[in-house]
Amino acid sequence: MQTTMTEATAPHKTMSKAAVCVSVFFFTGLIIASNYFVQFPINSFLTLGAITYPFTFLLSDIISERYSKQDALKVVKIGIVCAFIPSFFLAEPQIAMASVLAFFVSQQADIHIFYWIKSHFSKIWWLRSAGSTAFSQFIDTMIFFHIAFLGVMPWQSVLMLMIGDYSLKLIFAFLNTPWFYLFGIKMQKFLGVLRY
């Protein structure tokens, strides 16, 4: 399943206000949920937040596929601002700060890498989604766990959480690829409703 050169490099439409609002709503909800769930370990190397957080990257990749880099970055920045205060009420301040900072850096990295891959390897549609997500979520994991838990938990425990968290994110990066293809590439007419 490969997109044609024309489809992959076609000019992007500007997001409508409705598309921005809907995207920001989902981004904000996912960030807040992840900030809350990361406080609950599933085992010694995994938290509930690792399950919800990867969907923020899927959403940004779908937006990046359909719209311009500027629009995708705008949605990410507005989503961070909207999630900032609620996150501090639902999570420990250190966790909320770590999450917001990690999200801010990694999501922007994801979008820039996505567009770089798309411009250089336009026919390999799965690489721009899975590749950008895998790399940017590594950045996210390193920033988040160093700020949130170092000095609070033993270093070995933090390392185990980082390995478990990133392993799950890496799996999700590839499991989300069919969803990216469906919603980002195939369902152009459906997503086009939000453009105007």
What pLDDT digit, counting tens, does each position of 175-194 carry?
999 999 888 888 765 545 44
Q: Over the stretch 68-86, which tens digit does the pLDDT of each residue have? A: 999 999 999 999 899 888 8
Q: Which residues contact 35 (CB under 8 A, 6 or more apart)?
A: 49, 83, 87, 90, 91, 95, 96, 99
Q: Give residue for tokens 């490099």.
A: 9
| Torsion sign, CA atoms 104, 163, 168, 134 | positive
d(CA 8, CA 57): 19
For the residues 13-18, what does the mean pLDDT come to? 84
How many CA atoms does the CB half-sphere of 171 hold within 13 Å? 9
Please give the pLDDT value at position 48: 83
For the residues 91-117, what does the mean pLDDT come to? 91
d(CA 87, CA 32): 5
Of 71, 52, 75, 180, give the one whose Cα is nearest residue 127.
180
pLDDT of 196 above 60: no
The angle at the Cα of 162, spanning 159 to 166, to the nearest 5 degrees, equals 150
pLDDT of 3 above 60: no
3-state secondary structure of 48: coil
For the residues 12-32, what does the mean pLDDT come to? 88
pLDDT of 49 above 60: yes
Structure-model confidence comparison of residues 66 and 4, the more confident one: 66
For the residues 47-55, what does the mean pLDDT come to? 84
Q: Is the pTM of this model over 0.85?
A: no
Please give the pLDDT value at position 96: 83
Token digits of residue 103:
């999200």
For the residues 123-134, what does the mean pLDDT come to? 93
Q: Over the stretch 113-128, which tens digit does the pLDDT of each residue have? A: 999 999 999 889 999 9
d(CA 55, CA 139): 16
d(CA 138, CA 181): 22
For the residues 41-65, what does the mean pLDDT come to? 85
Token digits of residue 12:
């992007």
